[in-house]
Amino acid sequence: MVFLKKVGLILIVFCLFISVFTFKIWGASGGKKQEQISSEQVKTEVTQANTANVEDGTVEELKQNQYLKQNDFKELNEAEVSIDKKLAIEKAKEIVGSRVINESKKVKVVLTKYTRGQIKKIPESDLVLDNYPTWVVTFYGVTLEKQGSKSTSGDNSVYADINVLIDANSGKEISTISHTSSLTK
C-alpha cells in the first residue's frame, strides 16, 4: 500500500510537470500551437526562477517529518560526494518545474545517507537505497491536485511539501515524495 502511495505521488508530480510544459507550448491560445519551446529554454527559465528562499535543512528535520519516518537519514559530508548543493538544487528545480519553484514558500536542502524503508531495492533497477548518498531538496507549501475521486467540497487540491531525492554522485532523480504540507496555508 505504501509503495502504491509513493507511485501515486510520483505520478502527481509527473502530471504537474507535463501540465506546466503543455501550457508553455499551447498557452492561452485556445489550442493553436505557439512557438515551440526548447528544453534548454525551460531549463534556463527554471534556473532563473525564485532561488532566494533556499536554506540548509538538517538530517534531524528529515527524521522528525512524520511522512518520512519509515526511512532513515544519516549525516554525510559534502566532500564525500560528486554533486554539490547548488547542482542538486538545480536538478530538483528541473524536476518540479517553475510553478512549484515560484509557489513554494521555502526550499530546504540536506545531504544525507538515505536508507529507504523496508524495501531498499528499487524495482527494475540495480539501485539499493541503503546508506545511499542523497540530496533531499524539499519545496514547502505548494498546491497539488488530488488524485482519485472528486472531493464533495469541490476543492480538489492539497497544500503539500515536495521532497525530491537526488543521487549525490550522479545527479539523477532517485524519487519524489509529496505529502501534506508542514506549513499552514
Backbone phi, psi, residue 143, to 5°: -95, 125
Tell which residue, 9, 5, 176, has the closest CA to residue 95.
Answer: 176
What are the tens digits of pLDDT across the range 86-137? 999 999 999 999 989 999 999 999 999 999 888 888 888 888 898 999 999 9
Contact present, 142 and 97 (Cβ < 8 Å): no
- pTM comes to 0.68
What are the tens digits of pLDDT across the range 27-83? 333 343 333 444 444 444 444 444 557 889 999 999 988 888 889 899 998 999 999
Sign of CA dihedral 127, 89, 91, 11: positive
